[in-house]
Amino acid sequence: MIVVKDRTFEKFICYEDILERIAILAGNIDEDYKDRKPLFIAVLNGSFMFAADLLKEISLNCEISFIKVASYEEMESTGNVRQLIGLNENIFKRDVIIIEDIIDTGRTMLKILEEFKSLGANSIEVVTLFSKPGAVIIQEHLKYIGFELPEAFVLGYGLDYDGQGRNLKDLYKLKD
């Protein structure tokens, strides 16, 4: 068990199991994109560890880039707007694979998908390491899922609690 700020977390999924699952996801992507050169776009900050471990297992000719979505809280003054920052690549006619750490309600990904669709990508798929039950709203594009989680707050392997805990190698779950 570990304590981060005022909360206690227990180990949930260990790094070795995460890596094993990532190798399988990468194998599936390699197979599905055999004759294409996909553009991976990782959603920061949470996906930085997953993106690094996933890309090391991909054998395709590919590119990777990074975007950020300004969160709800940060945008409070302007209402419930979520803004996509940092997309410098031209995604017109590209085969895009979005890399996300976790999908909870699916609203963040819905916003990203909306924007990407308007930019004329040839195809858009999502690979997420973790998904919660709410992710069904983007099912159509959610082709690759690492682990389906229950409704619980998780931490580690890139995911934070109030800015901390991203460096933890394993995934932890909030102890209730």
Binding stretches for ligand 5GP (CB under 6 A):
46, 101-108, 153-155, 159-161
Closest CA to 85 of 109, 110, 66, 113: 66
In sequence order, what are the residues at sequence separation of 6 or more whose Cβ sits closer than 8 angstroms to the Cβ of residue 137? 105, 106, 107, 110
Which residue number, 21 or 36, has a Cβ lying nearer to ligand 5GP?
Answer: 21
Tokens 């229950």 belong to residue: 150
Nearest CB to ligand 5GP, comparing residues 33 and 159: 159
Nearest distance from C-beta of residue 82 to ligand 5GP, angstroms:
8
Instruction: State the nearest-atom distance from the C-beta of 93 to ligand 5GP, in Å.
Output: 27
**Strand ranges across the sheet with 123-131:** 83-85, 63-70, 39-44, 95-103, 123-131, 142-148
Tell me whether residue 105 or residue 122 sits nearer to ligand 5GP (CB atom).
105
Q: Which is nearer to ligand 5GP, 33 or 149 (CB)?
A: 149
Decide: 78 and 52 in contact? Cβ < 8 Å. Answer: no
What is the closest distance, in whole angstroms, from the C-beta atom of residue 83 to ligand 5GP in the complex?
14
Choosing from 17, 30, 104, 160, the catalytic residue is: 104
Least CB distance to ligand 5GP at residue 60 (A): 25
Report yes or no: 4 and 155 within 8 Å, Cβ to Cβ.
Answer: yes
Between CA 99 and CA 65 the distance in angstroms is 10
What's the distance, Cα to Cα, between the start and end of the chain in Å? Answer: 12
Q: Judge whether 160 counts as a catalytic residue.
A: no
Q: Which residues carry out catalysis? A: 104
